[in-house]
Amino acid sequence: MVSRKDAIRNELRNVRASMNVNDWRSGSLLIAEKAFQVPELRHADSVMFYLSMNDRREVDTAPLINLVTAKDTVSTFVPVSCDRTLCAVPFSKSDPVVAGRFGQPEPLHARTGIEEVPEVVIVPAVAVDREGRRLGYGMGYYDRFISGLRKKGGNPFIIALVFSFQLLDSLLPDDPWDEGLDCIVTETDVVRIYKP
């Protein structure tokens, strides 16, 4: 049976994959500029990015990585999959990358075992809603990772980067393990989610 999450996921993945390269590139640039206006990111000392799967038209993180790392005091991390969760490994933009298990770029020389909780975590998404729910590829990697950071006592600020067609007006299904977003950035909007 196809769950409601799977149905939305399949539909939005297809729409996204059909974006033409110019719209993807210009949209990603606008999203980077907007995201860099978010104070929590602009002033962060440590940030975890994702390395985008550009063929799938995930929002390209390269322009944002350039903006954030222009200040060379910022520690930057990217995820590598370890067991059923993610590890944050230090990353510089000149580091060589290779395709991971699902085709996601990962640093060739991943230094794991870093316990630091990044102040800001930039997450990819297939779809999000205005209350901060997020759908990914459906394997729960980011949910497990973020809940693990909270168990360590961290309180990272979570920002999703999406194209505006991925920000839905209807609400996504909410499962008990879903970790909420703090902020959503599209080409046209910054949506902050207020949690009472």
Ligand X SMILES: Nc1ncnc2c1ncn2[C@@H]1O[C@H](COP(=O)(O)OP(=O)(O)OP(=O)(O)O)[C@@H](O)[C@H]1O
Binding-site residue positions for substrate: 51, 58
5 binds ligand X (CB under 6 A): yes
Choose the contact partner of 147 out of ligand X, ligand FFO, none; CB within 5 to 8 A by kind. ligand X
If we measure between CA atoms, which residue out of 40, 4, 12 comes closest to residue 127? 12
Binding residues for ATP: 5-9, 134-142
Residue 89 has a CB neighbour count (10 Å cut-off) of 20
Query: Given phi > 0 = left and psi -120 to 50 = alpha, else beta, which region is 114?
Result: beta
Give the nearer residue to ligand FFO in terms of CB position, either 43 or 98: 98
173 binds ligand X (CB under 6 A): no
Choose the contact partner of 5 out of ligand FFO, ligand X, none; CB within 5 to 8 A by kind. ligand X
| Residue 159 to residue 180: CA distance in whole angstroms | 10
**Token pair for residue 114?**
């870093």
Residue nearest to ligand X (CB): 136
Choose the contact partner of 51 out of ligand X, ligand FFO, none; CB within 5 to 8 A by kind. ligand FFO
Candidate list 12, 38, 58, 60; residue touching ligand FFO; CB under 6 A: 58
**What type of residue is 41?**
L
171 binds ligand X (CB under 6 A): no
Choose the contact partner of 160 out of ligand X, ligand FFO, none; CB within 5 to 8 A by kind. none
Choose the contact partner of 52 out of ligand X, ligand FFO, none; CB within 5 to 8 A by kind. ligand FFO
| Residue 107 to residue 79: CA distance in whole angstroms | 9
Start-to-end Cα distance in the chain:
36
Q: Are strands 134-135 and 183-185 parallel, antiparallel or unpaired?
A: unpaired
| Stated length of the chain | 196
194 binds ligand X (CB under 6 A): no
Q: By CB under 6 A, which span of 16-24, 65-73, 111-119, 131-139 interacts with ligand FFO?
A: 131-139
Rg of the chain's alpha carbons, rounded to an integer? Answer: 16
Residue 29 has a CB neighbour count (10 Å cut-off) of 15
Binding site for ligand X (CB under 6 A): 5, 135-144, 147, 175, 177-178
Binding site for ligand FFO (CB under 6 A): 50-53, 58, 79, 81, 86, 102, 104, 124, 136-137, 139, 141-142
